[in-house]
Amino acid sequence: MNRLPLIADWRLTFGTQLPRGTLLLLLLAALLAVAISAFSLWRERRRGRALALLGLRVLAVAACLLVVVEPRLELGQVSVVPNYVAVLVDTSRSMSVAPPDRGPTRAERATALLAKAAETFTGWEGSGHKLEFYGFGEVLEPATRAGLPAPRAEATRIGEALSELRTRFAGRDLGGVVLVSDGIDTGRIGRGPLDADTRKTLEALAAPVHTVLVGESELRDLSVAAVLADDFAFVRTEVKLEAILRHSGLGGRVVEVSLLRDGRLIAAKAVLLREESAQEKVVFEFTPDHPGNHVFEIKTPVLAGEALDTNNSQVFTLKVIRDRVRVLHVCGRPTWNERFLRSMLRLDPNVDLVSFFILRTDTDEMPLGTGEMSLIPFPYKEIFDEQLRSFDLLIFDNFNFKPYWVEPYLPGVRAYLEAGGALAMVGGDLSFASGLYGESELQGVLPVDLGGIPSDGPGAWTTDSFRPRLTAEGRTHPVTALSLDEKANEARWAGLPPLVGINRVAGLRPGARALLVHPTQKSKDGKPAPVLATAEVGQGRSLALLTDSAWTWGFGAAGAGDDGHAFQRFWEGAIRWLVRDPTLALLHLDLDKVEYRRGQSVALRTRTLRSDFSPAPAIEVALELRPADSAAGANPLRALRVTTGSDGEAHAELEGLDPGAYRLAGRATLDGRAVDAETTFVIRPEGHELDDVVARDQVLREIASASGGEFRDGSLGRPSVRPPRKVRVGSLRTVEIWSNPLVLLLALGLLAAEWTLRRRTGHA
């Protein structure tokens, strides 16, 4: 233990054994004796004589008391043991706030404050104190006076910092604490009052805590303080998001608040920042159009003179799931195919079906007027203009759009498809080229090319009987997977009843895939005529079934010895593929969560599956990590490769990521074809450090008051700290002042002298 040099020390003690009550009575008697003497001398004309008599009485009484209390003088040497003064400086992110004139930040002012207090610190060190410096935010971090940590902590926990300080100084003498902060506490104290744990901590420290506020007299700042949203939402169902804006010094301004999904703007609102209120609520309403984990951001512009430009946005994740597949089925006329398809969809508990089929056209001769009929007109405007985007899948079943005023809405159907919708077109004599789709807006989004095919006559529609043949693509595609085993699947298709009739096409459009083809017929391009084809269209998908006799895969197949479920399984697989059901993916990127705190590792599980959905081992997967709002083709932040094990899984961890939103993309080759997958996640700053950056003094004032310290605004001054302890060393010599006959003789002599002088002057 380091100590200062030894110094001489003395101490006055009393050796009397009399009880305190007796000593108190003796003291009162002594005071009474002096008071009586003073009263008797009140009228003495000679002031000198009166003072002499009173002085003799006081000295005599004092000498008597000296004998009674037995005073002792203890002489020895002591060593002063230094104690500690802890200086805590806030190093949270709110300390990076600067005033509107762009002057020094709070952290810079705190550093200057410590430099200005150098004389105070030097004085403490010279008086036997040791200084220790700490930065604090989320935790207490040792520092030096000249080397404080940068303001990067994501939270300010003053109460917790004092508790940790108490633990660090357990068994050591703490003389005082200096706490420098902007008072923005995001821990257990919050905005005050002090909780019971913090008060107990201050009592246990047994030292004054002097608090110093570092803040601004004026501040301009706008922040997205909070976002209120559910953890998940449903596809095609309206979602409501609420954002809380906090502002200071910006009243009367109008700002634009934006909502972005995966880096793309989807909504914006103008908001007035009212003078009389420090916060505003903004509500966004939108309808998700496809499932998955999506990164959303609500942000405001950075205004001139703002204290911070890093709290103007909030990033969060929203998991969009599909409750039921909402299907719009539009049929040109009642047919067996329409009946079986509508019955199958209506009985499927996972499908929400809205079905329309045409029973008459405007050219049909009717004996009654329109007003006298129970049939309603086809609601084309409501369907294709107002309600289309609320559906996951649109099925045109042998439907000719021309007679029903649908043509003006086909561009909207195309936009719906390209934005993530799904379209299935079923053949027949009113479909494809026969339905004039080769001249419509849908020509470019169907999987087949209708160019050069006449709209009527034998060139557009045939009535021959045939058994379609699976293509190489169709053997492994989920739409045509009647069985997970490839050989069993091919045998199952070969055993189904033949189809009757096929729509003629020029061929497949670029990028489309044929899953079933005609065994003998050729398209105009010379390749086998497609019977079933699929295509990717923007963010959506389309499917073409170029026959209206697929219903025989159910009813007819059951009569031929099949289980009769091929029709149902085909459409179930087609619907799942069209709406991008996640269960059909062969490459999966699974995270243990979608939101992480700063410093947490992102745990990734990569899964690869064969076409029969069994694990695919020894598959190399290329992974690339990018910001969620990065442009397509941007260089990745990180790139790595993993190889799946015997269970078709590989694990990896991503560490050291800064707060923000990220998109992780994976690519692999499975069963000879390229597959990809992606997922998004967020690294979130912990706590709400920057939600409201206006400096607050309440917590600092309460800490100083509860601990016996002082609160200061902007400067330290010279606050008091507990003095160091003195430890007596070496031998102790005691001198008993009262143990001397002269003291008793002095008391008797003084009393005798007073009595004699009183007699001579005529006083009783």
Reply yes or no on whether the pLDDT at 13 is more than 70.
no
C-alpha separations of 334 from 379, 498, 611, 738 in Å: 18, 21, 37, 128
Helix (H), strand (E) counts: the chain: 14, 37
- What pLDDT, in 10s, does the model give residues 197-234? 999 999 999 999 999 999 887 888 898 988 888 878 88
Of the listed ranges 360-364, 369-373, 551-555, the least confidently predicted one is 369-373
* Residue 729 phi, psi dihedral angles, 5° rounding: -125, 155
CA torsion 148-150-151-154 (nearest 10°) is -110
What is the helix (H) or strand (E) element at residue 288, kind and residue range? none
Reply yes or no on whether the pLDDT at 4 is more than 90.
no
First and final C-alpha spacing in the chain: 66
Is it true that the peptide bond before 627 is cis, omega within 30 degrees of 0? Answer: no
Tell me the HSE value of 135 on the side-chain side, using a 13 A CA sphere: 22
**Looking at the DSSP assignment, which residues form a beta bridge with residue 260?**
265, 297
* Entry field: residues in the chain: 764
- What pLDDT, in 10s, does the model give residues 473-502? 898 888 998 887 888 889 889 889 999 999
Structure tokens at 110: 């705190």
Q: What angle do CA 760, 761, 763 make, to 5 degrees?
A: 105
- What pLDDT, in 10s, does the model give residues 555-592? 766 655 566 688 999 999 999 999 988 888 889 999 98
Q: What is the mean pLDDT of residues 328-354?
A: 90
Comparison of pLDDT for 418 and 29, the residue scoring more:
418
- In which band, very low, low, confident or very high, does the pLDDT at 453 lie, cut at 50, 70 and 90? confident
Structure tokens at 681: 């996640």
pLDDT value for 46: 64
- In which band, very low, low, confident or very high, does the pLDDT at 366 lie, cut at 50, 70 and 90? very low
Reply yes or no on whether the pLDDT at 236 is more than 60.
yes
Question: Which distant-in-sequence residues (6+ apart) come within 8 Å of 372 by Cβ?
Answer: none
Comparison of pLDDT for 364 and 661, the residue scoring more:
661
**H-state helical runs in 266-423:** 336-347, 380-381, 410-418
Q: Which domains does the chain have, with CATH numbers?
A: 7-80+728-761 (no CATH), 83-98+105-216+695-723 (3.40.50.410), 221-321 (2.60.40.10), 326-580 (3.40.50.880), 585-684 (2.60.40.1930)
> Mean pLDDT over all residues of the chain?
84
pLDDT value for 752: 74
* DSSP result, 155-214: ---HHHHHHHHHHHTTTS-EEEEEEEE-----SSSTTS---HHHHHHHHHHTS-EEEEE-
- In which band, very low, low, confident or very high, does the pLDDT at 727 lie, cut at 50, 70 and 90? low
Q: What is the mean pLDDT of residues 152-171?
A: 91
Interhelix angle 158-168/698-707, nearest 10 degrees: 30
- What pLDDT, in 10s, does the model give residues 539-559? 899 999 999 999 988 876 665
Reply yes or no on whether the pLDDT at 179 is more than 60.
yes
Reply yes or no on whether the pLDDT at 26 is more than 80.
no
Reply yes or no on whether the pLDDT at 298 is more than 80.
yes
- In which band, very low, low, confident or very high, does the pLDDT at 374 lie, cut at 50, 70 and 90? very low
- What pLDDT, in 10s, does the model give residues 377-390? 667 788 888 888 88
Give the sign of the dihedral formed by CA 159, CA 161, CA 162, CA 167. Answer: positive
Of the listed ranges 38-42, 171-175, 214-218, 721-725, the least confidently predicted one is 38-42
- What pLDDT, in 10s, does the model give residues 265-282? 889 999 999 988 888 999
Of the listed ranges 342-346, 609-613, 656-660, the least confidently predicted one is 609-613
Q: Which of 466, 461, 408, 463 is nearest to 432 (CA)?
A: 461
- What pLDDT, in 10s, does the model give residues 458-469? 668 888 999 999
Whole-angstrom Cα distance, residue 723 to residue 70?
30
Whole-angstrom Cα distance, residue 262 to residue 288?
12
Whole-angstrom Cα distance, residue 546 to residue 397?
10
